[in-house]
Amino acid sequence: MRYLPLTPADRGHMLAAIGAGSIDALFGDVPKAMLNPAIDLPPHQGELAVERMVGAMAARNLAAGAAPFFLGAGAYRHHVPAAVDHLIQRSEFLTSYTPYQPEISQGTLQMLFEFQTQVAAIAGMEIANASMYDGSTGAAEAVTMAARLTRRKGAVLSGGLHPHYRAAIATAAEAIGLALDRAPWDVEAREDLAARIGPDTACVVVQNPGFFGQVRDLAPLAAACRAKGALLVAVVTEVVSLGAVAAPGEMGADIVVAEGQGLGNPLGFGGPYVGLFATKEKYVRQMPGRLCGQTVDTEGRRGWVLTLSTREQHIRREKATSNICTNAGLCALAFSIHLALLGEDGFRRLAALNHAAAVGLAERLGAVKKARLVNDSFFNEFALRLDRPAAPVVEALAKRGILAGVPVSRLIPDDPKLADLLLVTATETTRDSDVDALVQGLGEVLS
């Protein structure tokens, strides 16, 4: 039985009070095509029939673990230890939610405190929050934070920044009237972002390793930002790279944003993921999200508290730095468990395995005719330039049971100069037989 608490008379009174002639009038600004669109689904069926139909549809997918897999572009396949899933499914963690009476939730607070400590350490920063939704929305939060700190109304976006991150930033920027200077797509990491910094630039946003795989030294750009009063926002989409590449904080970044999916969290058809956010301590009061701290109680025992919570549910709406409604707590826990299992040495070894796998793959693919390696530097992902559009090549290899990579045109469809670019990733899960299959398959498709 449907729950309908309002009578027609109640609705009539409410509509009269707001001056609307009907309920449909409330949706007048929504395009009609978006209201009750036709959905191509079969008619109502029984539960068993639906299960069989959905199962047959799911079987058409080629799962990451069922084929040679070289996809990346912001979402990476890594081995997740069995201990991670076992621990996060304990009822203390799996059923708990936001600690609205935080000091009662000492276990949750301690976990988040440990998570923050790990994030700050690998980012090379002084302080980190208790997580964001994901890397892209975290990048948008970083840009709005920089605008508040500098009181400026512009931002420069690198041409090596992931398209989804650029889109998320653009959405937030439009809401606060922030002007964006989007640098052209920069395949070879030769852009001069320092020349784009003006008197109204709040921040420069740069990804490292870049969307096309290039690794760069951020120190010169950080110095240029400081000289002109702008902040440097460093974005990392592959968190495992921080085990090998110099930490953004060590290179002078003011705010570091990363996607933490690569540790503890499987690909999961696009989510849920976990955003990492770190900055300098002097900026803490403009940092979005929550901050858990360590303290002692009246008896001198160590404990944890919710030190800072800058969202509108806890403070006056006009004082809030963000409307982020929660942290990705369970995903943050999975990240933290995985990193704790690895330890510092294990994290570095994992990164070394990823880089070695990518170097070996790049050497093999570099010998394939009609394919050319674009990068002169990379971590575990690089770009190949083919002699034809990459998307049909990927489709042809998928029919052979090989997930060959991500055609750049899938994420940047409006630039024909990038249509022949293929992003290819290797991780510790890549086997020699996978590489053999890709090299042979690509050679045959391009022949």
Q: What is the pLDDT of residues 226-269, one digit of tens each?
A: 999 999 999 999 999 999 999 999 999 999 999 999 999 999 88
Query: 302-309 and 179-182: which strand pairing?
Result: unpaired
Q: 439: closest CA among 408, 397, 410, 388?
A: 397
pLDDT attached to residue 436? 98
DSSP-assigned beta bridge partners for residue 304? 294
- Using the predicted structure, report yes or no on whether residue 157 has a pLDDT greater than 90: yes
- pLDDT class of 105 with cuts at 50, 70, 90: confident
Q: 122-131, pLDDT tens digit by residue?
A: 999 999 999 9
pLDDT at 327 over 90: no
User: What's this model's pTM, rounded to 2 decimal places?
Assistant: 0.89
pLDDT of residue 165: 98
Residue position matching structure tokens 């330039």:
385
265-272 contacts, C-beta under 8 A, 24 or more apart: 265/80, 265/331, 265/334, 265/335, 266/77, 266/80, 267/64, 267/75, 267/76, 267/77, 270/75, 271/134, 272/134, 272/328, 272/330, 272/331
pLDDT surpassing 60 at residue 313: no
Residues 6 or more apart whose Cβ sits within 8 Å of residue 112 = 130, 131, 290, 292, 304, 327, 329, 332
Q: pLDDT value at position 249?
A: 98
User: Given a cut of 80, is residue 96 above it in pLDDT?
Assistant: no
Nearest Cα neighbor of 140 from 122, 155, 125 is 155
Q: Kindly write down the DSSP assignment for every residue of 332-372, as one continuous string.
A: HHHHHHHHHHHHHHHHHHHHHHHHHHHHHHHHHHHTSTTEE
3-state per-residue secondary structure call for 180-193: EEECCCCCCCCCCC
Task: Please report, for residues 182, 240, 276, 315, the alpha-carbon distance to residue 236 in angstroms, rounded to integers and kept in the order given.
Answer: 18, 9, 9, 31
What's the half-sphere exposure (Cβ side, CA atoms, 13 Å) at 74?
23
Residue pair 265/334 in contact by the 8 Å Cβ criterion: yes
Q: Directed axis angle between helix 135-150 and helix 163-176, to 10°? A: 40
33 or 277: which carries more pLDDT confidence? 277
**Per-residue exposure over 232-243, b if at least 16 CB sit within 10 Å of its own CB, e if not:** bbbbbbbbbbbb
Domain architecture of the chain: domains with CATH:
64-79+343-446 (3.90.1150.10), 82-339 (3.40.640.10)
Q: How confident is the model at residue 223 (pLDDT cuts 50, 70, 90)?
A: very high
176-213 burial by CB neighbour count: b if 16+ within 10 A, else e?
eebeeeebebbbebebebbebbeeebbbbbbbbbbbbb
Q: How confident is the model at residue 6 (pLDDT cuts 50, 70, 90)?
A: confident
Task: Please compute the mean of the pLDDT values over residues 171-186 and round it to a whole number.
Answer: 96
